[in-house]
Amino acid sequence: MVDERRGQDPDGLERLWTPHRMTYISGEDRPEGGYEQPSGCPFCLAPGRAEPDSLVVARGEKVFAVLNLYPYNPGHLMVCPYRHVADYTELDAAETVELAEFTQRAMRVIRSASRPHGFNLGMNQGAVAGAGIAAHLHQHVVPRWGGDANFMPVIGRTKVLPQLLADTREMLAKAWPEVA
Ligand SMILES: [Zn+2]
Domain boundaries of the chain, sorted by first residue: 4-175
pLDDT band at 127 (very low <50, low <70, confident <90, very high): confident
Give yes or no: 117 in active site: no
Torsion of CA 59, 64, 67, 71, to 10 degrees: -160
Q: What is the mean pLDDT of residues 44-48?
A: 95
C-alpha 132 to ligand 1 mean position (Å): 12
C-alpha 138 to ligand 1 mean position (Å): 10
Q: How far is residue 180's CA from residue 167's CA, in Å, rounded to a whole number?
A: 22
C-alpha 155 to ligand 1 mean position (Å): 26
**Residues that place a CB less than 5 A from ion ligand 1:** 38, 41, 43-44, 84, 136
Provide the H-helix boundaries in 115-161: 152-157
| Domain formed by 4-175, architecture | 2-Layer Sandwich (3.30)
Q: Which residue among 84, 117, 136, 138 is the active-site one? A: 138
Q: How far is residue 175's CA from residue 180's CA, in Å, rounded to a whole number?
A: 10
Q: Which of 67, 78, 133, 134 is nearest to 102 (CA)?
A: 78
User: Which 3 state secondary structure label does DSSP give 82?
Assistant: coil
- Which residues neighbour 147 within 8 Å (Cβ) at sequence distance 6 or greater? none
Q: Which residue has the higher pLDDT, 165 or 19?
A: 165
Q: Is the pLDDT of residue 22 over 50?
A: no
Q: Which of 26, 24, 28, 13 is nearest to 154 (CA)?
A: 13
- CB count, 10 Å around CB of 169? 22
Percent of the chain beyond pLDDT 90? 51
C-alpha 14 to ligand 1 mean position (Å): 23
How large is the angle between the packed helices 93-114 and 162-175, nearest 10 degrees? Answer: 110
Is 124 marked within a binding site? Answer: no
Is 140 marked within a binding site? Answer: yes
Predicted pLDDT at 100:
98
Which pTM does this prediction carry? Answer: 0.78
Q: How far is residue 62's CA from residue 158's CA, in Å, rounded to a whole number?
A: 32
